[in-house]
Structure 1
Amino acid sequence: MKFDDAALLEALDAAPAGMLDTLPFGVIGLDGSGMVEVYNVYEATAARLTRDRVLGRHFFLDVAPCMNNSMVAERLEREEALDSMLPYVLTFRMRVTPVRLRLLRAPGHRRRYVLVERS
């Protein structure tokens, strides 16, 4: 799986949990209410947040409030079908980190995803 694969949403949904831990980018899978269900090793290491601290928490309120805006959180909420890549700057814990985000959501899929590619 690559960050810009066309069928990445389907591949993420079908992948066993251990497979997601081998990916070279962050994978955050959210349920319909924004609670974190998937959080891979890459993202845990890069963000310096353990799975125990993130899984089961509201992503935009408790984990990444820097993404709780119209460019990320609101798009995942309001758009039924979404596959968008955008340059973004994370400001978590006062560390400015330029990244590329990919937002994925589609009808018939239980999860929505925020993917994070760091340079």
Structure 2
Amino acid sequence: MTQPITFSDPNMLAWLESQTDDQFDEAPFGIVRMTRDGIVAAYCKSESHITGISQEYALGKYYFTQIAPCANNMMVASKYAQPELDEELDYILTYVCEPVKVRLRLLKSPDSRFQYFLVDRKSFS
């Protein structure tokens, strides 16, 4: 990782865009890098530990139906239809794991190559 970053850092999107998939594994929170169409391009180790879904399984799958159907709703998935997005919200993940209270951060911009789904277990309000 080029520099430490915090979950709520205002420059998060620029930082994410500058990192390689392997560098995400060093982040203290979960990171999912998706194509603009919602296909998982990178799934970091922290995210895998939170959800119990392996990186190998997640790659290449449509995130909101094949990996995280619990986030395929108006509170999360539908927000990615916006051209620009930087929102944090408390959420309860119910993937294939026990319900987990987390803080989500949803990110994308018209200029970004990818869109991002971040998960922090420590920041739940």
| Structure 1 residue identity aligned to 2:41 | E
CA separation in 1, counterparts of 2:119 and 2:83? Answer: 21
Deviations 1:87-115 (A, max 9, x none): 00111236111100000010111100000
Q: State percent identity of aligned pairs.
A: 35
Q: In the alignment, which of 110, 114, 117 is matched to residue 114 of structure 1?
A: 117
Tell me, yes or no, if structure 1 residue 29 matches structure 2 residue 53: no
TM-score w.r.t. the length of structure 2 is 0.90
Aligned mates of 1:39, 1:91 — CA distance in 2:
17
Deviation at 1:18, TM superposition (A): 2.6
The answer as to whether partners of 2:107 and 2:116 remain within 8 angstroms in 1 is: yes
**Structure 1: unaligned runs, 5 residues or longer:** none
Map of 1:105 onto structure 2: 108
Amino acid in structure 2 at the alignment position of 1:61: T
Give the structure 2 partner of residue 16 of structure 1. 20
Q: Which residue is equivalent to 1:92?
A: 95
Q: Which structure dedicates a bigger proportion of its chain to helix?
A: 1
The C-alpha deviation readout for 1:1-38, integer Å capped at 9, x for no partner, is 11111010110110123321111100001101110001
Deviates more, 1:86-95 or 1:61-70: 86-95
The alpha-carbon deviation at position 85 of structure 1 amounts to 0.2
- The unaligned stretches of length 5 or more in structure 2 are none
